[in-house]
Copies of this chain bind each other. A is one copy, B any other.
Amino acid sequence: MIDNEKLLNSGAVLKKYKRGEQLFEEGTIARYYYQVHAGEIKMNNYNEEGKEYIQGIFVKEKSFGEPPLFSDFKYPANAEAIIDSEVWQLSKEKFLKLLEENPKIHYKFTSTLASRLYYKAIMVSEISTQEPEHRILRILDYFKKNNDPQITSSKTYKVELTRQQLADLTGLRVETVIRSIKKLEQKGELLIKNRKVYR
């Protein structure tokens, strides 16, 4: 989102997180802007029984957790490193100042929020009205488009998500995902080559 030079000049620092480490917790106040430099960060919720829902997975260059900086509310979810990661951290004040001084960057964030809203609108509607197979295809297509935007729709994309992650992204259980994926393979909607899913 923001390039490294600008981040450094604005006073951002690069923080390291070990796999499984938490960056911030649901319900706390947002003080920083975060942007992934290396690794993978997920935002998630746990219900009382420990069932997880993954709000999003963020990779290199992607920012996350900004919405509470723009409006007055607490984090709606946790942030946690999926693998060892490095993340830019910039204070709320400096971040907002940077936006004020750079209308184009500001607009870029507005546009990013809009895209994320689009993704959420689709997922919430999918989860509330669609069947497992339908939901899974949606997520796969979303990741395909997002992680490899220039891919031709005909070419196969290797899904770098575990069955469990697919479950936590779609609100299903891992067994249901495993069984649905098999059915989808039989229907020719995707490919499984030694346990990896291709779409």
Interface residues of A (CB under 8 A from B): 45, 47, 51-53, 55, 66-71, 73, 76-77, 100, 103, 106-107, 109-118, 120-125, 127-130, 170-171
Contacts and interface: CB of A to CB of B under 8 A. Distances in A.
Contacts of A115: 67, 71, 73
B116 A117 contact: yes
A67 B68 CA distance: 18
A175 to B, nearest CB: 16
Contacts of A122: 76
A68 B127 contact: no
Given A100-B103, A106-B107, A171-B129, A53 B124 contact: yes
Given A107-B106, A110-B106, A129 B47 contact: yes
A45 B125 contact: yes
Contacts of A170: 128
A48 to B, nearest CB: 9
B70 A114 contact: yes
20 contacts: A45-B129, A47-B125, A52-B129, A53-B124, A53-B125, A53-B129, A55-B125, A67-B113, A67-B117, A69-B114, A70-B107, A71-B111, A71-B114, A71-B118, A73-B115, A77-B125, A106-B106, A110-B110, A123-B124, A124-B127
B124 A113 contact: no
A117 B113 contact: yes
A73 B127 contact: no
